[in-house]
Amino acid sequence: MVQERLLTVNKLRTEFFQSKKSSVTAINEISFHLDKGEILGLVGESGCGKSVTSLSIMRLLNFTSGKVTKGEVIFDGEDLQKISENEMRKIRGGKMSMIFQEPMSSLNPAMRIDKQMIEGIRLHTNMSKEEARKHASKMLSQVGIPDPERVLKNYPHQLSGGMSQRVMIAMAMSCNPQMLIADEPTTALDVTIQAQILELMKKIQQEEGMSILLITHDLGVVAEMCTRVIVMYAGEIVEEAPVEELFNHPTHPYTEGLIASVPKLGSGVKVLPSIPGSVPDLSMLPKGCRFAPRCKYATERCRNEEPDLFQISANQKCRCWRQER
Amino acid sequence: MEPIVSVKNVSKTFPAGKNLLGRPNKFVHAVNNVSFDIYRGETFSVVGESGCGKSTTGRLIDHLLVPDSGEIWFDGKDISKLSQAEMRPLRKNIQMIFQDPAGSLNPRMRVEDLVEEPLLIHTNLSKEERMKIVHELLETVGLSAKHAKRYPHEFSGGQKQRIGIARALTVKPELIIADEPISALDVSIQAQVLNLLHDLQQKFNLTYLFISHDLSVVEMISDRIAVMYLGYVVELAPKTVLYKNPAHPYTQALLSAVPIPDPGHQQERIILEGDIPSTINLPKGCPFAARCKQCRPECLETKPIQTEIEPGHFVSCHLYK
């Protein structure tokens, strides 16, 4: 089967400016791609740049001090860094949409659900108000909301967390996007509700053949949902691999440590192997490999020279001197 | 073994609405008729989803809240009706670790003052003696004495939680109530703090009441586990029994909903429908009936009674009688 590229991110760098001269590089020249119909996982701990990556792709950094200073984002053959804000607005919510971690705070609390949904739908299609309302109601029942007409008349505070996240998904799906960016979509939800939402996302993905970029810190969710995974550490990609490879043969010491430090249900261990130390401050990065101070394999070379992202097999990449080819 | 804590038929409600005269007429039933014992030296965990009453249970035992009815025995004494003043000397024996390490440390105090504070209240030690204990403890929790003069904002989340733990240990408590102590931390840091809690338990012979929503973490650290739903304890069992042989339909669904970090793992998943009902109007019958796949007519009518289906394994469900 020939895979069709949907999104290519090429050497993307985003910096946050504290003043004109001083800046912190949140993501440093990251490159990856997303094929049509695949679920790509983006894993890492807080501050590793995974959310900044999604905001940079969507060009949503305007309200922060962040700026993309290098690189390109090619979506469906178009460089998103070059088009105008007006054209970008047509893509956002249309061909490409996004769901966030906090469903409660991403909905407008002062607007009924119907108004919020119709607004989005009419922006991207030429449906009339009634048609858009009907479409919204159809979308809500597709995401498993039992009584869509009632929910449409509700305000966000009248909905539970799981319900709001369903509304968010319905809203994101309502213009038939080719790509969905899900930034920690289930982190704020309870486990049983998380299971409902993940099941729903998988179902929609299979039915619509959509691509999903799933950003999460939960390796369990990754194992369950993704076909391919990218691991980020301190603003860089440290490993890229198909999901089975990543869990069975992690090549980067960080990935290895991360997988080992997650308690697994039914394993019966009392003490977990853990990674010593903590994530470096992005404004005071160590010289050489960014993971070297916490790495048990670190050598003199690791502390002085930063490794490249080596291609170690057809579909696996790793940023570690031990994998140099 | 004698229990260090005995919770007997404890209930707690909070007012949620008022009538015209300003008197409360609606109540959130946070904890309903909960009973369990915690034995000396064990780790007893309370698990459940948000709003199930697990944190309220912890606060009731720590006497931060007073129960509406029922008794809480600590060290052979009923503490549920004590006044704040009567409770104060006992507080030394019960310490808490909170979820948000940043929010539970005063940002204007230095680490040594934060950790020293319990000693000022509970002991008559001299400044030198106090500082000696503080510095020792900082080493014990994996920080160093050179950190003592710094302020909380200079530390990462995991380090802040270590400070919180050191602070709880200063007065040599018997029981530590840890309310979601690692939920706010990153994955690689979670393992560090869990291992620390495990080591400290062995070293100081501590008893833990561990409150969490994460079943994989609870499995690692606990000896016995209580599963709560809508303010009720629906199942209580030793760890190995609960994970191998969960009896209550809610526990079964909860366990099957945990994502396993192994792509080769295939599991039968029980997807629950709907949301957790409101605790303002409690259902008449079994609290779980509305979402239960094995619900029968009697489940909607009468509350199930807790039954011991094997030694130490208690279930509240009509399926087991």
Closest CA to A69 of A8, A26, A7, A19: A26
Query: H or E segment at A32?
Result: strand A23-35
pLDDT tens over chain A, length 325 residues: 457 899 999 999 999 988 888 889 999 999 999 999 999 999 998 888 888 999 999 998 877 888 899 999 999 889 998 999 999 988 998 899 999 888 888 899 999 999 999 999 999 989 999 999 999 999 998 888 888 999 999 999 988 888 888 899 999 988 889 999 999 988 888 888 888 889 888 988 998 889 999 999 999 999 999 999 999 999 999 999 999 999 999 999 999 999 998 888 877 777 888 888 888 888 888 889 999 999 999 999 999 999 999 999 988 999 999 988 7
Q: How many residue pairs from chains A and B have C-beta atoms closer than 8 A? A: 129
Average pLDDT, integer, range B241-245: 93
When scoring B156, B159, B187 by the number of chain A Cβ atoms within 10 A, the one with the most, hence best to mutate, is B187
- Collapsing DSSP to helix, strand or coil, B228 comes out as strand
- Collapsing DSSP to helix, strand or coil, B31 comes out as strand
Measured between CA atoms, how close is B71 to chain A, in angstroms? 30
| Contact between A16 and A66 (Cβ < 8 Å) | yes
In this complex, which of A146, A270, A279 lies closest to B198 when CB atoms are compared? Answer: A270
* Count of Cβ atoms closer than 10 Å to residue A113 Cβ: 27
Burial class (CB in 10 A: 0-12, 13-18, 19+), B268: exposed
Q: Tens digits of per-residue pLDDT, A112-160?
A: 999 999 999 999 989 999 999 999 999 998 888 888 999 999 999 988 8
Report CB contact under 8 Å: A265, B159: no
> What topology is assigned to B3-93+173-316 in CATH?
Rossmann fold (3.40.50)
In this complex, which of A46, A160, A191 lies closest to B275 when CB atoms are compared? Answer: A160
The one-character DSSP state at A107 is S
Collect all residues of chain A within an 8 Å Cβ-Cβ radius of residue B217: 263
Which residues lie closer than 8 Å to A121 by C-beta, 6 or more apart?
A127, A132, A135, A136, A174, A175
Q: Which residue has the tokens 């950094």?
A: A61
Q: Where are the domains of chain B?
A: 3-93+173-316, 100-172
Q: Which tokens in the block code for residue A232?
A: 């980020």
Collect all residues of chain B within an 8 Å Cβ-Cβ radius of residue A279: 156, 186
Q: Which tokens in the block code for residue A82?
A: 């070059």
Q: Which tokens in the block code for residue A245?
A: 């490879």
Q: Which tokens in the block code for residue B152?
A: 């909380």
Q: Which tokens in the block code for residue B274?
A: 């709907």
Residue of A nearest to B50 (CA): A190
Q: Which tokens in the block code for residue B220?
A: 């690692």
**What is the signed CA dihedral for B285, B256, A143, A181, rounded to 10 degrees?**
140
**B residues 239-278 lying closer than 8 A (beta carbon) to A:** 243, 253-265, 269, 271-276
